Structure 1
Amino acid sequence: MSSSLFVQAFVTLLVIFDPLAAIPVFLTLTRHQSPSAQRRTARVSVLVAAGIVGVFAVAGNHLLDALGISLQALQVAGGVLLALIALDLLKTDCARKRADAESGAVAFVPLGTPMLAGPGAIAATMLYVEQAGSAPAVAAVVLALAAALLLTWLTLRFSPFIGRLLKDNGLNLVTRIMGLLAAAIAVQLIAGALQFWMRWGVS
């Protein structure tokens, strides 16, 4: 099993899921729920995200073949999406997100998608599965996805405690750090595809 692939996929997916940035929205959307209902909401939202990303991870390669899309094209698309996510994270204000949620604008968007299982997470998972050239490598990607989803669920599960502990300033700081990591990963993805095209040409 490729430990480096596991770490890279885990960090990428965790940055995209960004459960800390979802805490204010989650708490607002579930503010009228009992603690047990909040825990159930956290569990279901992560299961929905897992199902959506899992489907694309399994069927994504066949979809790429059917559409005639190369791995490098997916790599650039994933990098661009990740760069957009990074910009959003770097500009995120948790207090503003809470205000938006209270206005009802976020209530129409389920937590499972696109907040967790958005285009960035789908593209990144498809990319890593496509890059994996062996069964151990695929297993590393699957375990990375499972670990990222597990940590996301734990974050949402204990979001009332984490929110009280970090407060808005702490959440904003961690979110911006995640945004910086996302930007670096996006640059690496795009640079890798461009390097391949420069050496072998666009196919």
Structure 2
Amino acid sequence: MVELFVSAFITFFVVIDPPGCAPIYASLTSAASAAQRRAMAIRAIVVSLAILLVFAMFGEKLLGALGISLDAFRVAGGIMLFLIALEMVFEKRQTRREDRAEKILETPEVEDVSVFPMALPMIAGPGSIATIMLLMARSNGFEETAVVLVAMTSVLLLTLVALLLAGPLMRILGAKIEAVITRLLGVLLAALATQFVVDGLKASFA
């Protein structure tokens, strides 16, 4: 169970990337008061948790209704996570997030950024949704399912802390240290994504 928790925690941490969300949130909420930033951070995490729980509980039924096998989803999800890992290693993911944040800032009528773009697509985006569905598909029994959900919730709580401490966190980490951490996590995610693809192909051709 400990190994499952560590594996799930690392996967969610890499995909959601709390340190990477912090500078984006700081830039999006620079004009907001401390109370407003706190409220939007909490709202973003609650919305993200709700979205991921829906896909955790009903994702498999949704795939069945669409005629998609779990093994096919494992392969597709693994490829998607691998592409995210490549973006992290070559520092393209953060650039894309920053471009999206700039577009939001250019729209003056947008004030509450908790749902868009923070909850969707930055926190509970395609990568996070694919991850929770893949991990839930690999879980056997109530205990393993609970471990995966606890790991996901733990990462979301860390993300909340990162959003609340976005300003000080960025000053402590600095751009260079954040870039190094992102690349290391990208390599880890690439390995985990490859394992998802291998598992899906093995089961498909067994």
Q: 1:49 to 1:102 in 2, by over 3 A?
A: closer
Q: Does residue 1:156 correspond to 2:163, yes or no? A: yes
Please give the per-residue CA displacement for 1:64-101, whole angstroms capped at 9, x wherever unaligned.
22222222111111111101111121222698568636
Q: Determine the C-alpha separation between the residues in 2 that align with 1:192 and 1:107.
A: 44
| Helix, strand or coil at the partner of 1:48 | helix
Do the aligned residues in 2 keep the contact of 1:101 with 1:107 (CA within 8 Å)? no
**Which AA in structure 1 matches 2:152?**
L
Per the alignment, residue 16 of structure 1 pairs with 15
The TM-score, its normalising length taken from structure 1, stands at 0.89
Per the alignment, residue 45 of structure 1 pairs with 44
**Which AA in structure 2 matches 1:45?**
A
| Helix, strand or coil at the partner of 1:176 | helix
| Helix, strand or coil at the partner of 1:69 | coil
Q: Determine the C-alpha separation between the residues in 2 that align with 1:137 and 1:102.
A: 36
Per the alignment, residue 63 of structure 1 pairs with 62
Do the aligned residues in 2 keep the contact of 1:10 with 1:144 (CA within 8 Å)? yes
Aligned residues: 198
Tell me by how many angstroms 1:147 deviates.
Answer: 0.8
Identity of aligned residues (%): 36
Structure 1 segment 88-167 matched on structure 2, within 5 A: 88-92=87-91, 96=95, 100=99, 103-104=102-103, 109-167=116-174
Query: What is the root-mean-square deviation in Å for CA atoms of aligned residues?
Result: 2.2
| Helix, strand or coil at the partner of 1:33 | coil
The TM-score, its normalising length taken from structure 2, stands at 0.87
Specify which of 178, 183, 192 is matched with residue 190 of structure 2.
183
Q: Determine the C-alpha separation between the residues in 1 that align with 2:97 and 2:71.
A: 38
Q: 1:107 to 1:25 in 2, by over 3 A?
A: farther
Per the alignment, residue 75 of structure 2 pairs with 76
Tell me by how many angstroms 1:111 deviates.
Answer: 0.5
Q: Determine the C-alpha separation between the residues in 1 that align with 2:202 and 2:93.
A: 37
Q: Does residue 1:3 correspond to 2:2, yes or no? A: yes
Do the aligned residues in 1 keep the contact of 2:88 with 2:186 (CA within 8 Å)? yes
Do the aligned residues in 1 keep the contact of 2:14 with 2:189 (CA within 8 Å)? yes
Gaps of 5+ in 2: 108-115
Do the aligned residues in 2 keep the contact of 1:27 with 1:160 (CA within 8 Å)? yes
Q: 1:79 to 1:32 in 2, by over 3 A?
A: same
Gaps of 5+ in 1: none
Per the alignment, residue 33 of structure 1 pairs with 32
